Structure 1
Amino acid sequence: MRLPVMPPVLPMLAKSVPQIPAGQRYEPKWDGFRAIVFRDGAEVEIGSRNTKPITRYFPEVVDAVRAELPERCVVDGEIIVAGTDSTGLDFEALLQRIHPADSRVRMLARDTPAVLVVFDLLALDDEDLTGRPYGERRALLEQAVRGGGPGVYLTPVTDDLAVAQQWFEVFEGAGLDGVVAKDPALAYQPDKRVMAKIKHERTADCVVAGYRVHKSADDAIGSLLLGLHDQAGTLVSVGVTSSFPMARRKELFAELQPLVTDAGDHPWTAQAQASGTRTPREAETSRWNRSKDLSFTPLRPERVAEVRYDHMEGVRFRHTTQFVRWRPDRDPASCTYAQLEVPVRFHLADVLSGG
């Protein structure tokens, strides 16, 4: 492979801002695997967010790159998987694609095929475009890449703030998690947070039903384990909150000791998990967590915490939540899924076509 921009390349990043800034170009924020794709004829390499090659996990994307991208190019994009009903993204299915067995990879490529959504052009033929303004790179990208599928798509873009606000409000229903704003004059700056991302922010009252200790101190809280009651009244594990200064972690550890209970009396027993209840040990056999200790200290589910989150992935929080405050006024039984805002459904195909 001989290209004007060679792997590895760290992707350009975005910093969080509270509202959509004016005077920018706007794109939907995809929730998949970031991918820098290098193509030189038949040779294709896909680099991940941390530059590790992920080419072997997505053979159908490699085929699509050969069929739908220019002969020699480097593009920045996101690999995504649509849900079985094709109306939204399925991040859990995407996670399953990182598997050591080639036969498993091939089977999943057939059953849950991934596609590439492209949003930047770093090189074309023999020209390094990273020093060119984003507005020029986008125009060249639109000329070079048809982007209508079936395996490679161009992300929608607009310079209309009102349209961007509409995207922010409705595209979440297809599994996207916000909007990215880019300065049209922006050169491509690897590993620099020079774009802006605007993500949904909401709060929920959750039952604190356990904790994990901090990796560096046995008398400090690493994370609090959160639960919500489903329609049947079962307490379901929905995620964690973990952003505390070390002094506060130690205070919390001492504060929660009176609530420590025997695992056999807890809603998240091994038997409960075996019967279908989602517990904090749900992913302990995952290849992503083989080196992690997912055991936890169970607490009597009596305390309620308000946490800040961006969006849900199925029955759980997609990302780690932010602790806001304790809610001594809330009954743990009142912490249900019914309190959560449900995004209006929006078809993924409409996002890919620009809404």
Structure 2
Amino acid sequence: MDLPVMPPVKPMLARSAAQIPPGMQYEGKWDGFRAIVFRDGGEVEIGSRTGKPLTRYFPEVVQALAAALPPRCVVDGEIVIVRGSRLDFDALLERIHPADSRVRLLAERTPASFVAFDLLALDDVSLMDTPLVERRRALVEALGEAPTGPVHLAPATTDLETARRWFDQYEGAGLDGVVAKPLDIGYRPDERVMVKVKHERTADCVLAGFRFHKSGPVVGSLLLGLYDGQGRLQHVGVCASFPMRRRQALVEELEPLRMESPAGHPWASWADEEAAAADRMPGAPSRWTGKKDLSWVPLRPERVCEVAYDHMQGGRFRHTAQFRRWRPDREPRGCTYAQLEEPVRFDLADVLSGPNG
């Protein structure tokens, strides 16, 4: 492979904001694996956000990219899986598997797609220093003959009102929110020069345990639960962003709730790896965490906290929730999935048929 921009390249990043800023290019925030694709003739390599290759995990995407992209190019985008009319991140996670036979089986059962949204190089020319408005124009031209199947061009607009409408509508198709990109800057790897605006909602959750922080005997994350329709407490995620002084204080504050063992705890079956994985318990093994310590301290599920979250995926918070406050006025049994706001469904096909200019 011999391209004007060679792997690995870390993608350009975004910082969070509460409002969509004016005067930028706007796109949906895709909920998938960020991927930078390098194609040089018959060679295709897919780099992840960390620079590690994703190529072996998505053979069907490699094949589609070889058919759709220009012969020599570097493209920034997102690998996604669509089920029904919306994105499915859980299905995407299943694709990171060590067994090649499993990867190829899932490539047939749950094929992935690639959504392109930036062009870093074309033929023998690097576009890294080219303003976004020109890179976008070149990307549209380069993918003009791309099929409507596994390779897509991300819709983009410079109209603020359209971006606001997308922010409301696209969540129903599984997107995270909206990304705003400055029109006049080049591509800046690993720099937070874009702006992301995500949905935020609140939920009252049962505190059912915690993990210690990697730095020592202070709280690292709180384990959160919600009761389902059968009265079972389901693990829905964690909240973890605390100042160090607060982490230290939480250990003492939660001491009265600590249990000597998981026996009698709603998640006592976490020690059984198969049961833990099936119910997504906090002690379940993970291909992503490897040998990371996933041990946790069980707490009597008697305290309720309010957390902020962006959206749900497969019955869990898609990202780490943000602690807001304790809710001593709430009963744990009242913390159910029924309180969660459901976005209005929106067909992903309508997202991908948006403006491409």
For the aligned pair, the TM-score class normalised by the smaller chain equals over 0.9
**Cα offsets for 1:305-354 (capped at 9, x unmatched):** 11111111111000111111111111111111111110111111111111
The DSSP-based 3-state class of the residue aligned with 2:113 is strand
Greater shift, 70-79 or 91-100, is seen at: 91-100
1:21 to partner: Cα distance = 0.8
2:87 paired residue number:
89
Aligned-partner Cα distance in 1 for 2:348–2:185: 28
Gap runs ≥5 in structure 1 = none
1:160 paired residue number:
159
Is 1:49 matched with 2:49?
Answer: yes
Count the aligned residue pairs: 350
Aligned-partner Cα distance in 2 for 1:285–1:237: 14
Aligned-partner Cα distance in 2 for 1:149–1:71: 18
1:289 to partner: Cα distance = 2.6
The DSSP-based 3-state class of the residue aligned with 1:22 is coil
Q: 1:274 to 1:3 in 2, by over 3 A?
A: closer
User: What letter corresponds to residue 154 of structure 1 in structure 2?
Assistant: L
> Within 5 A, what are the aligned runs for 1:301-312?
301-312=301-312
1:277 to partner: Cα distance = 4.6
1:173 paired residue number:
172
1:148 to partner: Cα distance = 4.3
1:120 paired residue number:
118
> Within 5 A, what are the aligned runs for 1:11-90?
11-83=11-83, 85=84, 87-90=85-88
Aligned-partner Cα distance in 2 for 1:194–1:325: 32
1:290 to partner: Cα distance = 2.8
User: What letter corresponds to residue 253 of structure 1 in structure 2?
Assistant: V
The DSSP-based 3-state class of the residue aligned with 1:64 is helix
Question: Please, what TM-score do these two structures have when normalized by structure 1?
Answer: 0.95
User: What letter corresponds to residue 198 of structure 2 in structure 1?
Assistant: K
1:91 to partner: Cα distance = 0.8
The DSSP-based 3-state class of the residue aligned with 2:234 is strand
2:330 paired residue number:
330
Question: Please, what TM-score do these two structures have when normalized by structure 2?
Answer: 0.95
Aligned-partner Cα distance in 2 for 1:280–1:8: 33
2:185 paired residue number:
186
1:181 to partner: Cα distance = 0.6
Aligned-partner Cα distance in 1 for 2:109–2:21: 40
2:321 paired residue number:
321
Q: Which runs of 4+ in 1 moved over 3 A?
A: 271-278
Contact 1:36–1:74 (CA under 8 A) maintained in structure 2: yes
> Within 5 A, what are the aligned runs for 1:189-208?
189-208=188-207
Aligned-partner Cα distance in 2 for 1:264–1:71: 60
Aligned-partner Cα distance in 2 for 1:189–1:176: 24
Contact 2:307–2:321 (CA under 8 A) maintained in structure 1: yes
2:275 paired residue number:
274
Contact 2:68–2:147 (CA under 8 A) maintained in structure 1: no
The DSSP-based 3-state class of the residue aligned with 1:138 is helix
1:135 paired residue number:
133
Aligned-partner Cα distance in 1 for 2:254–2:86: 39
Contact 1:148–1:154 (CA under 8 A) maintained in structure 2: no
Gap runs ≥5 in structure 2 = none
**Cα offsets for 1:42-61 (capped at 9, x unmatched):** 01111100111111111111
**Cα offsets for 1:223-268 (capped at 9, x unmatched):** 1110011112211110011111222112111111111124111111
The DSSP-based 3-state class of the residue aligned with 2:21 is coil
Is 1:210 matched with 2:209?
Answer: yes
2:109 paired residue number:
111
Contact 2:116–2:153 (CA under 8 A) maintained in structure 1: yes
1:4 paired residue number:
4
The DSSP-based 3-state class of the residue aligned with 1:287 is coil
Is 1:252 matched with 2:250?
Answer: yes
Aligned-partner Cα distance in 2 for 1:278–1:8: 33
User: What letter corresponds to residue 138 of structure 1 in structure 2?
Assistant: R
